[in-house]
Amino acid sequence: MYLRYQFRVYPTPGQQAALARAFGCARVVFNDCVRARRTAFATGMKISDTELQRQVVTAAKRTPERAWLAEVASVALVQACQDARTAYRNWFDSIAGRRNGRKLGAPRFRSKRDHRQSIRLTRNGFRLRANGRLHIAKVGELAVRWSRYLPSAPSSVTVIKDSAGRYFASFVVDVRDSPLPTVTSEVGIDLGLETFAVLSDGKTITTPRFLRRAERRLRRAQQALARKDKGSKNREKQRVRVAKLHARVKDTRHDWAHKHTTAIIRDNQAVFVEDLCVRGLARTRLAKSVYDVGWSTFIRLLEDKAARYGRIFGKTDRFFPSSQLCSTCGANDGPKPLRVRAWECASCGARHDRDLNAAKNIHAAGRAEWSNACGGTVSLSA
């Protein structure tokens, strides 16, 4: 499987200027590709990918209006064309129903006012030097802070400048699956806001509330930003300060999710979660709290690590009544308001904690679906 390994890089002022030119040229080529495809569609003409690349890169360099494209590596420009082609393919597949997930719209122009810029390079556009530096064509050797070794030779690298002004190199490497030793434990996970996760074995994970803890500093920084004159250098400096605070929240949340998902995958042979509609919950009054906990990232990391380490991962149906069923006898006691945190089953008299009972039901439903998919004849307890 292919994974990304991301490292911080520290370009010199001259290299930052060269990267800025590369970012701008790649953006212009991408926009030219989108514009050419729109024009071809409006006139009823067909244009191939090869002809489009020749038109917006090779031929454009010979014109006075685009002569400055020759100042950057051609690999970055070719990859910008490939990005535009991929964007259109994804749009077409989404329209035809061949692509899972939400419906995608037509590709849009990239803006030079976006504070996040990037270029992508294949193997003939970069080299890893013996001294640990990353050589980028027509940019130079970038100092990289290696936090770990690459498991194999990278096939491509994406150089990124984020909104906080930090530079990163993201390598795509081919990693072999490394199954963990088999264990006997399995777990179902009920996700929530007050308590981030309750596991069917009784363990709980408290909600970290990263954004809530940083709100005071963010509020002061954003108030200072609002007082700066638009277009001034002081406003740009303050914008970077605000972006750094948001980046710290994001990085902390991502690190926390990685550590907990790794521990869950390591300790359990099978992991089952509920399929939450995060986009729908984010349209409610709980939107800030929903986005702060990062359910989607947590579930995605669980699924990816389960595939990498040979574990079983499953999702229960979105409409499965995990909070209504009794995990002891299977009776359905009907919906309950969120303020009800504990209840007693009317059929068997068992006393349940709401979240722990839901986690046990998710585990039972997920295991039944997994066994049934493997050919077994099982069903939920009645």
The residues annotated with a catalytic role in the active site are 190, 274, 355
Distance, in Å, from the CA atom of 235 to the CA atom of 354, rounded to the nearest integer, reads: 49
157 φ/ψ angles, rounded to the nearest 5 degrees: -140, 140
Distance, in Å, from the CA atom of 192 to the CA atom of 203, rounded to the nearest integer, reads: 14
Of the CA atoms within 13 Å of residue 1, those in its CB half-sphere come to 13
The answer to whether residues 173 and 158 touch, using CB atoms and an 8 Å cutoff, is no
Phi-psi group of 362: left, alpha or beta (phi > 0 → left; psi -120 to 50 → alpha; rest → beta): alpha
The SS3 assignment for 81 reads helix
Record the tokens describing residue 208, joined without a space.
């970290």
Record the tokens describing residue 156, joined without a space.
């491509």
The alpha carbon torsion through 331, 332, 338, 342 (nearest 10 deg) reads -20
Distance, in Å, from the CA atom of 380 to the CA atom of 369, rounded to the nearest integer, reads: 9
Distance, in Å, from the CA atom of 122 to the CA atom of 79, rounded to the nearest integer, reads: 8
Cα–Cα distance list, 261 to 165, 187, 256, 301 (Å) = 29, 12, 9, 7
Q: Is the dihedral angle over the CA atoms 45, 50, 56, 59 positive or is it negative?
A: negative
Q: Is the dihedral angle over the CA atoms 68, 74, 79, 85 positive or is it negative?
A: positive
Burial class (CB in 10 A: 0-12, 13-18, 19+), 334: exposed
Concatenate the DSSP letters of all residues of 300-349 into one string: HHHHHHHHHTT-EEEEE-TT--TTTB-TTT--B-----TT--EEE-TTT-
Strand partners for 118: 160
Distance, in Å, from the CA atom of 358 to the CA atom of 335, rounded to the nearest integer, reads: 12
Which of 198, 186, 207 minimizes the C-alpha distance to 359?
Answer: 198
